[in-house]
Structure 1
Amino acid sequence: MEESPITDAVLGERVPSLPRLKAVEPVARGRVEPLCVAEVRSLAAFNALEAEWNALVKRVDDQVFYRHEFVRCWIENFAPGAALRILTARNALGMLVAVLGLQEEQGHQYGVPVRQLSSLTNKHSCRFDLVAEEPKRAAVAFLSHLMGDPSWEVLRLSDVPEGGAAWELLNAARGAGMPWGAWPSARSPYLVLPSTVAAWTKGRSNAKPLRRRRRRLEERGRVEVERVAEVEGLGSKLEEAFALEQSGWKAQEGTAIAQAEHRRGFYTGLARTAAERGWLGLYFLRLDSRPIAFQYGLEYAGRYLAMKPGYDESLAEVSPGHLLTENLIQDCIGRGLGELDLLGDDAPYKREWTEQVRQHHWLFIYRDTWMGQTLQRSKFRWAPVAKRMVGRWVRRR
């Protein structure tokens, strides 16, 4: 699949459609058996798929966010009562060849109630995609299945990476004449790591300022870096991290991990699972044994995935978060990792480390009904036009 040349919202124009969306496409070497599509609607049925699910992820796109353990932890903490609609596809031999994690929920678009199928995602899930051996074939099969179900009006997938397999769902919708659209979401910075620390240090613009800040911090006491990767003692280490995060501005906004049981449960459960499987990389910067910065992350498939940072804001003048990031990068290089993925939004503090970003999008597919067409036009035509008109009016005042 070619990468989408999207720079802003993409409008799904209606094009001449096929009589119906076919479940499979003809190939040169004879007839291909149709994929068998089924829905998983309970957590117990989802849990039974763990081995097959992970084997598929490993074969197709080995990212921790797509693994069964990660998705299960997310469901158990953020959507324990969700109406699951997880799509699975099996080939003629019964092998699992595609999955798409969805839930059924009542949403709103510009104040209008909307029955939607949405991805199992929120801002803590980081990244989402269709996982399929043959994305084009799976997309056609899944969309064909959903077209026979009148209970939804919009299919919404959040934080799909540009060029991801889920874009084939938009291609299938376009081919079937269904309204569709895409909206840019997170631009996640990432740093490709060289093979040596010396190669990374050469030419760094922030190297000298950080050396000065580190010396100033060392004047206050003993500075140490700690990496936590084991289950033993993990609970107390996590509490240190959560308390440090809650001591700052996140507590005022109510977004600290420890301020909500579902957030605490997710990050605690994920850390324990990651430690058991050798993925955990929880880093601390300590001053005389006291934690002054932390980075909660996962080490998986040659990448370090930086999920949650925090630092002591009373020491902001010496940038403890940046000092820890410097040590973290050095350790990742020493461990032979190839990438630091900073995830989330394109925050200014992340751009001190890299100019490379990974664009993500929200993908929307609407039913080919009067309601679906109206919802699509309101989001991708009328609302952008109204926003531009208001902007012009404000600038002219």
Structure 2
Amino acid sequence: MEESPITDAMLGRRVPTRPCDNAPRVWRQAARRPGRRAEPLRVAEVRDLAGFDALEAEWNALVTRVDDQVFYRHEFVRCWLEHFASGATLRILTARNATGDLVAVLGLQEQEGHQYGVPVRQLLSLTNKHSCRFDLLAEEPKQASAAFLSHLMGDPDWDVLRLSDVPEDGAAWALMHAARGAGMPWGAWPSARSPYLPLPSTVEAWTKGRSNAKPLRRRRRRLEEKGRVEVERVSGSEGLEARLEEAFALEQSGWKAQQGTAIAQAEHRRGFYTSLARMAADRGWLGLYFLRLDSRPIAFQYGLEYGDRYLAMKPGYDESLGEVSPGHLLTESLIQDFIGKGLKELDLLGDDAPYKREWTREVRQHHWLFIYRDTLVGQALQRSKFRWAPVAKRMVGRWVRRR
């Protein structure tokens, strides 16, 4: 459904704006029977891992009903919590209808932080750059948003609610609409623009008109002159540990090691991607691909195959072979494999990097969403982030350009 925009006149007050106010606010909502009144929802909080674990079956059933993405599933979130937020103070909001069915979930954690040097009490989504995307899970986002905000407004122990990497058509935009309607300070920043490639039904249809087809054929021939080239797919648990070590070592051999962002350089990252691979292999979701030259790995793609999508989470390649583009050669082989298997999309995730744009022009815009308590502190925090800081940034930019 599409919500009609709320105007200042309708609210009878001046409403804070956000820098991306033209972003679509369309979200999925379960159809309601004609004449059926909305039942009041019972909101509760889950504050420990035991309570979170007890929700697994209901949580996944809700995901399946509202937006079946692997990043929203209980197993994925559990793996993320274990390695990136093991000591977090959980504030997972749940909503149940009159019959006790779980109809909405908003995964949050409580954390002390700072905004421009000011201490801030934050409610944050269970996310970081390794979680890819986040959303409110709700059969009826408008109703759930109203119930969750009403619950939070009765709690004075927070200043800002921040949800990271919400897609443009995400249900969490209903929270923003509810906050605006309630007169709460709010705002949103654009975050990742994630490229994705819709896949046709045949390889021939995909190959037709490709601008990089001929250059890659030449590079593949040059690589084949160096030795035997083959693609390996790892989807099960047999030999998985050794293959993961190969992938981690290959990634760490390049520029990511210099920046300190390679998986193997941090125990929590290594633990997350190892545990996620084991879990995915057990459920048939793992798609770990290698391009090998005489059995030596020269490129890999760590990803998940879920539903009709392949989700490309972590790539790596041997930079000493950069002249033949082993990463692109592997991607070309993967796309052919995905089309043969009947997948509908290659989701490249993350940021809009130039190498991803060699494969597609399509992107998904994500945003960070902010809701502040309607207090003097909350109003000041919202103004500092969405009014004063952008103005100061523009002024500094003009001064730098004039020098």
Among 339, 360, 368, the alignment partner of 1:362 is 368
2:19 corresponds to which letter in structure 1?
A
Of 45, 50, 66, the residue aligned with 2:72 is 66
Instruction: Provide the secondary structure at the position in 1 that maps to 2:216.
Output: helix
Q: Does 1:183 align with 2:192?
A: no
**C-alpha deviation, 1:346, in angstroms:** 0.1
Contact kept, 8 Å, 1:3 with 1:163, in 2: the verdict is no
TM-score (structure 2 length as normaliser): 0.93
Matched, 1:127 2:127: no
Q: Distance in 1 between matches of 2:388 and 2:205?
A: 50
* 1:73, distance to aligned residue in structure 2 (A): 0.2
1:185: how far off? Answer: 0.1
The answer on 1:87 being equivalent to 2:99 is no
Residue 9 of structure 1 corresponds to 19
Give the alignment's TM-score, normalised by structure 1.
0.94
Counterpart of 1:248, as a letter, is G
Give a deviation string over 1:20-65, Cα, whole Å, max 9, x none. xxxxxxx973653310111010011101110100000001100000
- Provide structure 2 residue ranges, at least 5 long, that are not aligned to the other structure: 6-17, 23-32
Is 2:244 the counterpart of 1:234?
no
The match for 1:160 is 166
Cα distance 1:185–1:201, how it changes in 2: closer, same or farther (>3 A)? Answer: same
Structure 1 vs Structure 2 CA RMSD:
1.7
Q: Which amino acid aligns with 2:167?
A: P
Q: 2:222 aligns with which of 216, 220, 231?
A: 216
Q: Distance in 1 between matches of 2:267 and 2:122?
A: 26
Aligned partners of 1:11 and 1:383: how far apart in 2? 17
Pairing 1:38–2:51 present: no
Contact 1:224 1:286 in 2 (8 A): yes
Q: Retained in 2: the 8 A contact 1:189–1:354?
A: yes
Structure 2: how far apart are the matches of 1:290 and 1:11? 50
- CA–CA distance in structure 2, aligned partners of residues 4 and 127 of structure 1: 25
Structure 1 residue 308: Cα displacement = 0.2
What is aligned with 1:24? none
Letter in 2 for 1:321: G
Counterparts of residues 290-305 of structure 1 (less than 5 Å) = 290-305=296-311
Paired AA for residue 122 in structure 1 = N
For 1:268, the equivalent position in structure 2 comes to: 274
Structure 1 residue 3, shift from structure 2 partner: 8.6
After superposition, give the CA deviation of every residue in 1:360-395 in whole Å (9 maximum; x if it has no partner).
000000000000000000000011111111111111
Distance 1:178 1:220 in 2: 63
* Structure 2 CA distance for partners of 1:389 and 1:3, relative to 1, 3 Å: farther
The residue aligned with 1:22 is none
In structure 1, how many angstroms separate the alpha carbons of the residues matched to 2:313 and 2:298? 17
SS at match of 1:349: helix
Q: Which whole-Å deviations, capped at 9, do the CAs of 1:104-128 have from their partners, x for residues lacking one?
A: 0011111211100000000000000
CA distance in 2, matches of 1:191, 1:228: 22
Identity of aligned residues (%): 85
Cross-structure match for 1:16: none
Unpaired runs of 5+ residues, structure 1, are 13-26
Q: Which residue of 2 aligns with 1:20?
A: none
Structure 1 residue ranges, 4+ long, deviating more than 4 angstroms after superposition: none
**Structure 2 vs 1, CA of residues 328 and 141 (structure 1 numbering), >3 Å: closer, same or farther?**
same
